Amino acid sequence: MAAQKPTLPKGTRDFGPQQMAKRNYIFDAIRSTFKKFGYQPLETPSMENLSVLTGKYGDEGDQLLFKILNNGDFLKGTSTEDLHSGSKSMLPKISKKGLRYDLTVPFARYVVMNQGQLTFPFKRYQIQPVWRGDRPQHGRYQEFYQCDADVVGTESRISEAEIVLMIKEVFEKLRFQDYEIKINHRAILAGMTEAVGAPGRESEFCVAIDKLDKVGEEQVLKELGERGFSTDAVEKVKPLLDVTGTNEEKIAFLKEFLGNSEAGQTGLSELSEVWEYLAAFGTEVPQLVFDPTLARGLSYYTGCILEVKPTSVKMGSISGGGRYDNLTEVFGGNRMPGVGFSFGVDRIYDVLEELNLFPEDQTVGVKVMITNFDPTSEKHSLGLLHQLRQAGVASEIYPEPAKMKKQFNYADKKNIPFVLLVGEQEIANNKYGLKNMKTGEQKDVALDELLQQLQA
């Protein structure tokens, strides 16, 4: 029987050494920024009880959860009647766990379970993979990393302003400038439903207009009609989908449009606070844009919401988040205001790759390779190798005697910038040939000079 050709599950990817070097470049930029702003590291299990996950992401989100079959005979305790009743009836009997959909809900669960030991406001960052049953396509995967930063225990809009600053700093570190940070407020969306004569229907409204970028205005208006919004309400929505101008002009328009909505005015006031705090920080963020149509489909947001998209590459959101002032209550905890956001590393990777923004030396792991020509030079080289590593220089030796061309080809393919030639003559002179693989230049160096140059 022929061996079966191995394949990867759709929506997943392997990452070889070069790809991992680039991913770590992104992770390092994000992690160092999170730490700089006072966030502490946290990890939670890859799987959670389905009771923790379901009902937190809206109906569409629940459909995308990866469920895990119970251990052993997962059909034990089920009947033919359960099977005929459909998946909703069968699921609770065959699956009690699921893979993480995001990092925010597990974080809220952690806070509730450990609130007696935590110092509030509690600021944490978390860098782990999540899983979603989306249809795989360019920029959309079923397994991908998120890098979250959240703070719970404060209602201060300083937190939202710092999120904007962290986004700006990370992308500055990655030399990426072509993006837009869209910001809105859930209360503004609630105010919109009141203003168009459909109060209390914010969830349906958000689900529809959240698709504006994907399907266009005409399709959004059609969906609102299909969801039972009156013709008059749909007509009143139109000017809201076409608001233009500066951030100040858009806020002024909405203040008038939502004049009779207390929720809408509250949202606009809190949004204005974010800009006031950014001004107090003394930092301009020209990429920050007020977008009253930004909805973000996750149902747990209650305040400011943010989403980051590239402007020069066709790609979905690469970062996003918002305020969720009552998420911990669903786990039986006290009301605890929180706000957070997440970077989508896989999409950021694709954007940097497409724009050729990764530094050339990012894939360099080993800095110098020592040649291996015979048993005598090999033994001498091992001592050199040890001294190089003791000095903090990433280095390796070609593992067996071989022709020079073969060793140079190996170093070249691994993108090793320097090769140290060690033979009988070099050992006798106590000087070694150091070849720059990029320029082809070669010079003789003593050990102290070698260490000095490679440590620089």
3-state helix, strand, coil in the chain (%, to 5): 45, 20, 40
Pairing of strands 143-152, 47-49: unpaired
Task: Report, as ranges of residue numbers, the positions in the chain whose pLDDT lies below 70.
Answer: 1, 84, 139, 297-299, 362-364
Q: Which of 44, 48, 47, 34 is nearest to 124 (CA)?
A: 34
- Output the six-digit token pair for 287: 């990429």
pTM summary value: 0.84
Q: In which residue are the tokens 């809206």 written?
A: 58
Pick from 95, 105, 96: which is nearest to 44 by CA?
Answer: 105
CA-to-CA distance for 337 and 342, rounded, in angstroms? Answer: 17
N-term to C-term CA, the chain: 57
> Residue 29 has what pLDDT?
97
Q: How many CB atoms lie within 10 A of CB 427?
A: 16
pLDDT at 101: 93
Q: What is the pLDDT of residue 61?
A: 82
Answer for the pair 350, 356: CB distance below 8 angstroms, yes or no.
Answer: no
Residue 433 is predicted with a pLDDT of: 96
Please name which of 58, 254, 280, 40 lies closest in space to residue 160, comparing C-alpha atoms: 280
Sheet holding 47-49, edge to edge: 47-49, 97-99, 67-68
CB 265 within 8 A of CB 275: no
* Token pair belonging to 240: 């809201």
pLDDT at 1: 61
What's the pLDDT at 227?
83
Q: Across-strand partners of 420?
A: 370, 434
CB atoms within 10 A of CB 53: 24
| Upstream peptide bond of 121 is cis (omega within 30 degrees of 0) | yes
Sole residue written with tokens 């590593």: 389
